[in-house]
Structure 1
Amino acid sequence: MAVITISRQFGAGGRTLGKMIGKKLDYRFLDDLILQEIANQAKVSKNMVISMERTAGSMLSKMISGLLSSGYIERMMGEGKGYMDEEVYVQVLYDVMLKLASEDNVILTGRGGQYILEDFEGAFHILLVANKKDRVNFMLKHYKLSEAKAKAAVLSGEKRRTNLYKKFGKKDYNDPNHYHLVLNMSRVSLEKAVDLVCNLVGK
Structure 2
Amino acid sequence: MEDTLHGNAQKLGAKGKSVETRVLPETALAADPMPSGIPPQGSVVVTVSRQFGSGGSDIAHLVAKAAGLNYVDQKIITEVAERLGVDIEYAVQQDEQTSGLSGNILEALRSSNPFNVHYMYPAAKAQSQTQELAYFHLTQRVILELATQGNAIIVGRGSQFLLHNNPRTLHIHIFAPMEYRIDYVMKQYQIKRANAKEMIEQRDDEQARYLRRYYGVDGQQPNFYHLLINTGLFSFESATNFICQALPIVQAIV
Same-fold call, TM cutoff 0.5? yes
What SS does the aligned partner of 1:51 have? helix
Structure 2 length-normalised TM: 0.69
What do residues 101-133 of structure 1 show as CA deviations (whole Å, max 9, x unaligned)?
112111111100101111332111000111111
Query: For 1:174-185, what aligned pairs fall within 5 Å after superposition?
Result: 174-185=220-231
1:50 aligned onto 2:92: yes
What SS does the aligned partner of 1:201 have? helix
Q: 1:62, CA displacement in angstroms? A: 5.2
Q: 1:3, CA displacement in angstroms? A: 0.7
Letter matched to residue 84 of structure 2? A
Q: Distance in 2 between matches of 1:178 and 1:73?
A: 44
Q: Tell me what 2:3 maps to.
A: none
Q: Tell me what 2:44 maps to.
A: 2
Contact 2:161–2:215 (CA<8 Å) still a contact in 1? no
Q: Tell me what 1:69 maps to.
A: 108
Q: 1:146, CA displacement in angstroms? A: 2.9
What SS does the aligned partner of 1:85 have? helix
Alignment CA distance shift 1:55-1:111 (3 Å): closer
1:91 aligned onto 2:137: yes
For structure 1, list consecutive stretches of 5 or more residues without a partner in the other structure.
75-82
For structure 2, list consecutive stretches of 5 or more residues without a partner in the other structure.
1-42, 114-127, 250-254
Q: Tell me what 1:80 maps to.
A: none
Letter matched to residue 142 of structure 2? V
Q: Distance in 2 between matches of 1:62 and 1:150?
A: 21
Q: Distance in 1 between matches of 2:189 and 2:248?
A: 32
Q: 1:141, CA displacement in angstroms? A: 2.8
1:124 aligned onto 2:170: yes
Q: Distance in 2 between matches of 1:35 and 1:67?
A: 20
Q: Tell me what 1:11 maps to.
A: 53
Alignment CA distance shift 1:54-1:165 (3 Å): closer
Q: How many residues align?
A: 192
The runs of 4+ residues in structure 1 deviating greater than 4 Å are: none
User: Which has the higher mean CA deviation after the structures are superposed, 86-95 or 140-149?
Assistant: 140-149
Paired-residue identity, %: 26
1:38 is aligned, of 77, 80, 84, to 80
Higher Cα radius of gyration: 2
Q: 1:15, CA displacement in angstroms? A: 0.9
1:108 is aligned, of 154, 162, 165, to 154
What SS does the aligned partner of 2:229 have? strand
Q: Distance in 1 between matches of 2:57 and 2:112?
A: 29
